[in-house]
Structure 1
Amino acid sequence: MKTDSIFYRLFQEFPGIFFELIGNSSPTLEAYKFSSIEIKQTAFRIDGVFLPTQSEQNPIYFVEVQFQTDTEIYSHLFSEIFLYLHQNKPNNPWRGVVIYPTRSLDTADINNYNEFFTSQRVSRIYLEELGETASLPIGIATIKLIVENENTVITVARLLIDRTQQEITTDLQQRQLLELIETILVYKFPTMSRKEIESMFGLSDLKQTRVYQEGKEEGARQEKLRMIPLLLRLGLSFEEISKEIDLSLEEVQQAMQK
């Protein structure tokens, strides 16, 4: 579903938003890596997993995004979690987070899993109940835009775009968040083209500015840098990687040193 890809992109580019969403501002972002994980020898795939990269004290977070009624969601979720734990045997504790657009979609029976919810090992988040968009942190407000009422979505989106330009000072993060907002609007207005949406919300002019273009170039460079470890594992030399991703040999070597 489109919402799955939006959440995957959101948590991958802005992992801090997830921890804001669950009310945990303590972990350093470098301590986690977000990915989607397929369980071996089954058809199970966990929507998203925040895997600790540092301390064994940090919990693993299993994230499920559910935008349609599924009476078996919890049996699937716990099967995936425990199969993952069985196969990988991590020393870290674990937590589960299920994200719904509305409480009305949470219809599955939890009778066999009650202890996980009462202990808050597994928590449920209903986007419509997060509060007024204007008073929310900008990351959480962006998530809530996904479920914003069609009568107010245009006003809220314009407010978010203004807030992003004012509150996000890092050029790369500002560009990423604006592009994410644009993607959500494409999802909300399926009959409109991306160019029409850019024009409607003033994003066309913004994309022509020097700051935006520089941020886009830096984003492309960062994406190339993220590919280097994968290309190394595939057996390419530094020289071959340099040619493949169009970066200097010195940049490739420096990236691996870091």
Structure 2
Amino acid sequence: MKTDHPIYLFLSAGAEAFRVLTGGRELVGPYRFCSLTIKGLERRLDGIFEPDGHDGPVYVVEFQGQHADSAWYNLLTKIGLYGEAHPHRDVIGVGIFLREQDRPRFPRWANQAQAPLLQVALRQVLPNWLAREPDNPYVAVFAPLLIADDDDLRARAQGLWRTVQEASLAPEVREILGQVLEFWFFERFRGLTAKEIWAMLNLVTPIQETKAYQSIYAEGEVKGKADGKVEGKAEGKVEGKAESLKRLLARRFGPLSAGAEQRIDTAPVAQLDAWLDGIFDAVNVEDLIGPASG
């Protein structure tokens, strides 16, 4: 599962997202979240919180969705590169892992309590957040990672969506959290189409009237009527990205299986964007998009 994209998208929602993912660590003062490339070395810092107008610490965030022996060294390298470019700033590394067993063993001092690194295992931290703050939209978006029973998750899907959509949030933040929640549902229920998942999330508003329908999944052909134009435009956006992804994958790994093509053709825009971003890091088609669903 390619999880970097939704995690960094989530962190871009600001200070509350940082607090939830780090198990309660709060940013003191205003911060801005960005992605940064160290010039000359072309080393990319995917997630970084920089103080905005004050001298608080800089947080360099590294998310690891699967085990990698070099994860700590990768984070330490990024801390060092940023610190070398900004020697008068206090830099703190934050290692976020999906599971406790994903933390690398070396260097051993990195796993000690007194190490100058923050480390979080989401499978340990997030269930407590969900129990304590079930109405917090920043927590609700991770429910598909935490609720083990599929039927239970289906039953709670609409409530989770309402938690995000009815929260007192800036529109751009609500949009981010909605995308993250949708991403996890698509990863959890890979055999369903975008239309089926949206119906699971939102059972009140007719699907044709929703923004998500227009941006994630559209059906029908372009027509002269206004509704037909909207649907055709949305469908064209999805199909264009799907075709680009299939073309790039075929050039890199050879002809795609029918199952892989079907998975790409039914994916939402946010998922296609994540796969396009990760295509050069993948070792094969399955590593990027997962196994074809039956």
Letter in 2 for 1:6: P
The structure 1 segments of at least 4 consecutive aligned residues displaced by more than 4 Å after TM superposition are 169-172
SS in structure 2 of the partner of residue 13 of structure 1: coil
Give per-residue Cα distances to partners, 1:21-64, cap 9 Å, x unaligned. 33234534xx21111222333353223111112111x1100111
Match for 1:129: what amino acid? Q
1:125 to 120, 145, 157: 120
2:31 paired residue number: 32
Structure 1 residues 204 and 36, CA gap change in structure 2 (3 angstroms): farther
Which is helix-richer, 1 or 2? 1
| Secondary structure at 1:17 match in 2 | helix
Cα RMSD for the two superposed structures: 3.0
Percent identical residues: 24
Cα distance in 2 between the residues matched to 1:120 and 1:206: 52
Number of residue pairs aligned between Structure 1 and Structure 2: 206
Amino acid at match of 1:38: T
| Letter of the 2:28 counterpart | P
Task: String of CA shifts for 1:215-242, please: whole Å, max 9, x gaps.
Answer: xxxxxxxxxxxxxxxxxxxxxxxxxxxx
Mapping of residues 95-174 of structure 1, within 5 Å: 95-113=92-110, 117-119=112-114, 121-130=116-125, 131-132=127-128, 133-136=130-133, 137-143=136-142, 145-146=144-145, 148-149=147-148, 151=150, 152-168=152-168, 170-174=170-174
TM, length-normalised to structure 1: 0.67
The residue matched to 1:34 in structure 2 has which SS? strand
| Cα shift at 1:134 | 4.2
Q: Distance in 2 between matches of 1:123 and 1:21?
A: 11
CA offsets, 1:191-233, max 9 Å, x none?
32222211122267277379xx9xxxxxxxxxxxxxxxxxxxx
Aligned pair 1:53/2:52, yes or no? yes
Any stretches of 5+ residues in structure 1 without a counterpart? 214-258
In 1: Cα distance, 2:147 partner to 2:39 partner: 37
Q: 1:92 to 1:100 in 2, by over 3 A?
A: same
Specify whether residues 25 and 203 from structure 1 end up closer, same or farther in structure 2 by C-alpha distance, changes over 3 A only: farther
Task: State the secondary structure of the residue aligned to 2:96.
Answer: strand
Change (3 A) 1:85 1:186: same
| Distance change in 2, residues 1:74/1:25 (3 Å) | closer
User: Residue 46 of structure 2: SS of its match in structure 1?
Assistant: strand
Q: Partners of 1:141 and 1:108 in 2: how far apart?
A: 31
The 10-residue stretch of structure 1 (66-75 or 181-190) with the greater mean CA deviation from structure 2: 181-190
CA distance in 1 between partners of 2:176 and 2:78 (Å): 31
**Structure 1 Cα separation of the partners of residues 75 and 60 of structure 2:** 9
